[in-house]
A = this chain, B = another copy of it.
């Protein structure tokens, strides 16, 4: 396996030079951020990456009711706890140092590109701890959070049920009040990541359930802490949570995904988090972050696959230039035009997506640290871009890892190289934390229309800032113009759909929301590429560009030109499709005959 799974050079370039993730207020300097990144890389390289293939070949097993995972996971999790990675984003009183979102996501990127499955365990614990710390009582915090942050207890998000996946309002897991203020939980949950395993001493589920008598639908859902083992006078007692199944998956096989049964014996206790019936809004508080993490996971996998392909195509010699005779020696296949094009495509996707997600993290940070009158605007930008930053890498990553395989020819299809695993690992991301279809409806049906379309206006201004920023570079003007036109296409399409909403109602409005999301993705990634090209042009216009940087910067300009020349034009077909009445509205399901 190639030793390189990501480029620290590119990550730092994106974080510092492109996004300018502001360390102000975070207690971080650029230097301290780099130290964190270097430490993360060191851990990823030594502890996570060597297990990447092994964890795939030996997936979790359900043995006597407990899920057995790779034996190294326990030491990985306790190290992540001990070294402060799990607590990093939290305040000092919880052992953290208020790590800013962009740095957190950059660290997630490093871990996930080394070994996606291994990286999710602690991410889930972090998310669950965050929910308890944000909405839970002091007692819940004291009881659960410290051990979670030590990596000794696993946190989960237990949302999905057999009959309520995408449609959360239909969930039926029940919570009956008990005299001591706790609740008796009964129900089934499926697709629970890290829902049980033997690398921790306990599992703490953040579970959605319906309190007896609660309103139907999404307004009657409450959030509970439901541990596998109930802390009781310093001891841990079984809490009637049973693993009924582990899911055997195509990829992402290093992490156990489980089906759980709660309260089969009537002895499962849950602790209400915050107020009753507000569970979904609490959960959605974490949703942006969870979705950005999925986008980052997809980006990381695409990145690792690209680096494997880069390594292979540089070293594998076969064929010769078309202008050379058959007597010439074979050339490294990276010299073939088609291979170069595929490598450009992979970089365009993964480096563009990285940039967009870190941009989102910056907005997230600014929504807390900006002057008060600007906070809401940054939050709107974050809300708007989250479904895009989740979906672009998840969907394009399928094609990008497919291109990585193609660079290897037949070997890419074999287990001898990691890219077939990257391709399999990638495919979950368009599904978990809300499918692409859901992201499209979220973007068009909620985010675009909220506050009378203000978020889109704010984005338009951000894009204009970038266009203005590059105005002194003649070589970028055609692309700035193309981005401007693409933004106009997005705007026109949005208005057309707005008219559809008024005339024909929500179903017609949202019928092609997935395609709208795809169009939106291309425009925002083009924006990130113009931004990157602008930054590079500024650097190149300056003094004393180091030779090593020159190749890196020129490479960036190449990839940016590729994006504008080959990928952005794809919005043409999407805008044509979106300008028509959605065909599916006219089609009966009965016309799908056998």
Contacts and interface: CB of A to CB of B under 8 A. Distances in A.
Interface stretch (A15-23, A96-104, A196-204, A334-342): A334-342
Given A318-B167, A323-B506, A510-B322, A427 B431 contact: no
B247 A334 contact: no
A326 B216 contact: yes
B510 A591 contact: no
A99 B588 CA distance: 39
Contacts of A592: 310, 314, 334, 343, 347, 555
Given A307-B594, A323-B505, A555-B592, 16 more contacts: A163-B317, A165-B318, A166-B318, A251-B413, A322-B505, A323-B507, A337-B585, A402-B427, A405-B431, A406-B430, A412-B431, A551-B590, A555-B591, A558-B587, A570-B570, A572-B572
Contacts of A420: 249-250, 427
B591 A554 contact: yes
A444 to B, nearest CB: 12
A390 to B, nearest CB: 15
A130 interface: no
A569 interface: yes
Contacts of A591: 551, 554-555, 558
A573 B562 CA distance: 13
A341 B514 contact: yes
Interface residues of A, number: 111
A332 interface: yes
Contacts of A507: 321-323, 337
A344 B591 CA distance: 10
A431 B410 contact: yes
Interface stretch (A66-74, A356-364, A574-582): A574-582
A543 interface: no
Interface of A: 4, 7, 9, 160, 163-167, 169-170, 190-191, 216-218, 247-252, 307, 310, 314, 317-323, 326-327, 330, 332, 334-341, 343-344, 347, 398-399, 402, 405-406, 409-410, 412-416, 420, 423-424, 427-428, 430-432, 435-437, 440-441, 505-507, 510-515, 548, 551-552, 554-555, 558, 561-562, 565-567, 569-570, 572-573, 576-577, 580, 582-587, 589-594
A406 B436 contact: yes
A569 B572 contact: yes
Contacts of A251: 413
A590 B550 CA distance: 11
Nearest to A513: B338
Contacts of A332: 589
A218 B326 CA distance: 9
A250 B404 CA distance: 14
